[in-house]
Amino acid sequence: MIMTKKYTSYKIKKSSFIGIKKHWQLLLFLLPGLIALILFNYLPMGGILVAFKDYRIRDGIFGSDWVGFANFQKMFTGMEFPRILKNTIVISFLKLITSFPAPIILALLLNEIHNSKIKKCVQTISYLPHFFSWIILGNIFTMLFSIEGPVNSVLKMLGLNESIAFFKSEGWFIFLLIVTNIYQTVGWGTIIYLAAISGIDNSLIEAATIDGAGRFKQVIHIIIPTIMPTVTTVLILNLGGILNAGFDQIYNLYNPTLYNVADIIDTYVLRQLSENNYSIGTAVGLFKSVVGLIFVFATNKIVNKLSDDEMGIM
Amino acid sequence: MKRTKGEKFFSIFNIFFMICFGIMCIYPFLYTLTMSLSTTADSVKDGLHLFTLNPTLESYKLALENENIGIAYFNTILRTVAGTFAALAVSLLYAYALSRNELPGRKIFSNILIFTMLFNGGTIPTYLVIKGLHLLDNRLVYILPGLISAYNVIIARSFFKSIPESLHESAILDGASEFMIFTRIYVPLSKAVIMTLVLWIAVGHWNAWYDSLIYINDEKKIVVQLLLKRMMDSAQTQMVDTIITGDSIAIMPITIRSATTIIAMLPILAIYPFIQKYFMGGVMLGAVKG
């Protein structure tokens, strides 16, 4: 028994050594990528140590003193963290319940358009916002929704007496975030669902038609069940980003008067960076990464349980 | 196929809805374009600004007079071209190696990559590493951190895997090295996927600004997106200043602002027809093969 065990482990070692020698070219191919991954992905993970230290620029990461969980304690008992956490979750949740179903509905409606020219045209236009940065979009939206902008002009024409200050009122600003987020994501989001719908076997639809099912029933009983796995996958990925309230969007639309509702984890971390509060900033960032990781795994597990391992992504 | 009354009604409503939706999607861009071509007097009028009766290129001239815009534009083009090429080479090589079953430690190398999709060090630790590598205020910071992305590698790998194994075998028998097989067989056969990745990475580079914001202090090294942001911000504060001081001079008219925005958008609009075709293909690949 023992002999065989020894023999096999020896064999594995020898064969993997031969493998390295034989396939050195392939290993060389990996090298540039590996170096980049180590330098820019794994070294920063090591830099998380800063969260457990009292970081001083002069002393560097290794020279600064260990403080254990003091930074986290400071974070949870501080005034600002509850506010940014609440803002992040509220904005993210509101975006999820609006921007997650929107592309599903749009894809179902697009699928019912039989005039291929109109369909193609609407699709092409709706993908456009996906290709521009939030600096450009934010800039366009600040013009559109300004006091003198066309949105307020239209509201005035419709008989509204006072113009709406979208960038001063907290409620309207959140509304603006939700609407512009749908605008940017809805068209692009349909692609994955339209691909799933196009995979439906036509004979299923024909059989349903012969059995007397109307179009509406076909959608309910054939199309929606077919896209369900895609829907859950997208939902899991979205839930993993629950603490991503959309830094790019908010950073390019908000102003200090809106911090009360619009200051989120990422904007806060960026401010800590510019104010040299590295330790607190890292602690908050680490909190965000860990929660995100937990959310992906937990949602995946729940979906797997509920669907007997048929859905889920891992 | 017989359609019920309800279905017919729905069909008409649906087409109407889609047309309205399409108009709403295009409107913000149309508005910006019209504003950039309007005279200052026309631009301050109420209304939707769907078109302008007195088109003028004056705003573009004024926007381009800003001396920084040329340098920023150059920086963006530089990072887009060099960054796309470098990232493509690194990602494809990594993907090719991962696509070979005989690669020793394949599972480990694949997991090292995939883990970066799930977890990252965060803004500040990354900043400290970049600082430690002396990349602050260095244009290389635009290119190096983005050399490899898990998503791009996964897409290229699944495509390489679909190439028949017999091609690789016969090339080996003919004495070809892995590098020759990669450049002479795999790359030419994967043109469509590579085109998708090129556009993907290039658009990402064109739109990137966060790295410029936190790693670059030198105004001569920032990218055009960030320059646009800076111009907007200073216009905003100057506007507040003029309100406070009672000065009635608008510093950055909406027309110049629109023109600068259009200038920053132009390259993307120019390649949009190609993007359409190839980007979609990439999303499908990602969706089907994961």
Put simply, the answer to whether B148 touches A36 (Cβ < 8 Å) is yes
Cβ neighbours of A206 (radius 10 Å): 10
Q: Which amino acid is at B217?
A: N
DSSP A133-184: -HHHHHHHHHHHTSTTSHHHHHHHHTT-SS---TTT-HHHHHHHHHHHHHHH
Please give the average per-residue pLDDT across B257-268, as a whole number.
Answer: 92
Worst-scoring range by mean pLDDT, B176-190, B199-213, B226-240? B226-240
Q: Do B214 and A156 touch (CB under 8 A)?
A: no
Mean pLDDT of all residues in A4-33: 72
Is B266 in CB contact (< 8 Å) with chain A? no
At B278, the amino acid letter reads Y
pLDDT of residue A16: 64
Residue A37 has its nearest CB partner, among B49, B112, B124, at B112
* B282 close to A191: Cβ distance less than 8 angstroms: no
Chain A, residues 83-142, CB within 8 A of chain B, namely: 106, 109-110, 112-115, 118-119, 121-122, 124-129, 131-133, 135-137, 139-142
Distance from CA of B135 to the nearest CA of A (A): 12
B287 contacts on A by Cβ (under 8 Å): 191-192, 195-196, 230
Q: Which residue is listed with tokens 């902008």?
A: A149
Residue of B122, B133, B283 lying closest to A282 (CB–CB): B122
Q: Specify the pLDDT at position A1.
A: 40
Single-letter amino acid, residue B124: I
Q: How many Å lie between the alpha carbon of B33 and the closest alpha carbon of chain A?
A: 10
Amino acid A306: pLDDT: 76
Tens digit of each residue's pLDDT (9 = 90 or more) over A258-309: 999 999 999 999 999 999 999 999 999 999 999 988 988 888 788 778 776 6
Average pLDDT over residues A19-26: 84
ipTM of the complex: 0.88
A280, exposed or middle or buried, with CB in 10 Å at 0-12, 13-18, 19+? buried
Interface contact A273, partner B, CB < 8 A? yes
Would you call B126 and A122 a contact, using CB atoms and an 8 Å cutoff?
Answer: no
**Nearest residue in A to B143, CA atom:** A36
pLDDT at res. B250:
47
Placement of tokens 């800039």 in the chain: A139
Give the one of B11, B264, B283 whose C-beta lies nearest to A191's C-beta: B283
* 3-state DSSP of A47-98: HHHHHHEECCCCCHHHHCEECCCHHHHHHHHCCHHHHHHHHHHHHHHHHHHH
Domain ranges of chain B: 19-56, 68-289
User: Is it the case that residue A12 has pLDDT exceeding 60?
Assistant: no
Chain-chain contact of A269 with B124 (C-beta, under 8 angstroms): yes
**Pick among B30, B59, B126, B128 to test the A interface (most A CBs inside 10 A):** B128
Tell which CATH architecture fits domain B68-289: Orthogonal Bundle (1.10)
Judged by a CB distance cut-off of 8 A, whether residue B58 touches chain A is no
Confidence tier at A4 by pLDDT (50, 70, 90): very low
Backbone angles phi, psi at A54, to 5 degrees: -100, 90
pTM of the complete model: 0.87
Enumerate the residues of chain B whose CB falls inside 8 A of the CB of residue A115: 15
Instruction: State in words which class domain A75-306 has.
Output: mainly alpha
pLDDT of residue B242: 56
Q: Give pairs for B223-227: CB < 8 Å, separation 24+.
A: B223/B72, B223/B75, B223/B76, B223/B79, B223/B142, B224/B69, B224/B72, B224/B73, B224/B75, B224/B76, B224/B263, B224/B264, B225/A133, B225/A135, B225/A136, B225/B76, B225/B264, B226/A135, B226/B72, B227/B68, B227/B69, B227/B72
- From chain A residues 240-259, the ones with a CB under 8 A of any chain B CB are 248, 252, 255
Mean local confidence (pLDDT), A7-18: 56
Q: Which helix (H) or strand (E) holds A34?
A: helix A24-37
HSE toward the beta carbon, residue B120, CA cutoff 13 A: 17
Return the closest-CA partner of residue B31 out of B52, B49, B56, B19.
Answer: B49
Token readout for A12 is 């594995």
Other residues' Cβ atoms within 10 Å of the Cβ of residue B157: 22
Q: Which residues of B touch A191 (CB under 8 A)?
A: 280, 283-284, 287
Looking at per-residue pLDDT, the higher value among A68 and A2 belongs to A68
Q: What single string gives the DSSP state of each residue in B97-140? A: HHH-TT-TTHHHHHHHHHHHHH----HHHHHHHHHHTT-TT-GG
pLDDT for A140: 95
- Residue spans per domain, chain A: 2-66, 75-306
Query: pLDDT digits over A241-252, tens only?
Result: 889 999 999 999
For A83-110, what is each residue's pLDDT tens digit? 999 999 999 999 999 999 999 999 999 9
Amino acid at B168: H
Q: Least CB-CB distance to A273: which of B214, B264, B275? A: B214
Of A15 and A167, which is predicted with more confidence? A167
Q: How far apart (Å, rounded) are the C-alpha atoms in residues A107 and A226?
A: 13
Q: What is the pLDDT of residues B7-32, one digit of tens each?
A: 888 999 999 999 999 999 999 999 99
Return all residues near B68 (Cβ < 8 A) that are at least 6 apart.
B219, B220, B227
pLDDT at residue A312 tops 70? no
Q: State whether residue A63 sits within 8 Å of chain B by CB.
A: no
**Structure confidence by residue, pLDDT tens digits, A145-201:** 998 889 999 998 898 888 899 999 999 999 999 999 999 999 999 988 998 898 888
Tell me whether residues B124 and A281 touch, CB distance under 8 A: yes
In 3D, which of B43, B30, B245, B237 has the Cα closest to residue A148? B43
Q: How do residues B110-166 score in pLDDT, each as one tens digit?
A: 999 999 988 889 999 999 999 999 999 999 999 999 999 999 999 999 999 999 999
CB-based contact (8 Å) between B271 and chain A? no
| A300 three-class SS | helix
A43·B129 Cβ contact <8 A: yes
To probe the interface with B, which of A53, A133, A198 has the most B CB atoms within 10 Å?
A133
Instruction: Give the Cα separation of A64 and A276 in Å (integer).
Output: 14
Q: Which of B21, B32, B94 is nearest residue A140 as measured by Cβ atoms?
A: B32
Report the distance separating Cα B157 and Cα B285, nearest Å.
11
Query: Alpha-carbon dihedral of residues A233, A234, A239, A245, nearest 10 degrees?
Result: 160
In the beta sheet, which residues pair with residue A65? A54
Query: pLDDT digit string (tens) for B19-69?
Result: 999 999 999 999 999 999 998 888 888 888 888 888 889 899 988 888 889
CB nearest to B22's CB, from A33, A122, A285? A122
Instruction: Return the structure tokens found at B48.
Output: 């939707």
Give the model's confidence band at B290: pLDDT under 50 very low, under 70 low, under 90 confident, else very high: very low
Residue labelled with tokens 């719908």: A197
pLDDT tens, residue by residue, A206-225:
899 898 888 888 999 999 99
The Cα A238–Cα A247 span in angstroms is 15
CB pairs under 8 A between A and B: 251
Judge contact between B144 and B181, C-beta under 8 A: no
Please, are residues B215 and B137 in contact by the beta-carbon 8 Å criterion?
A: yes
Within 10 A of B5 (CB to CB), how many other CB atoms are there?
7
Interface membership of A262 toward B (CB under 8 Å): no
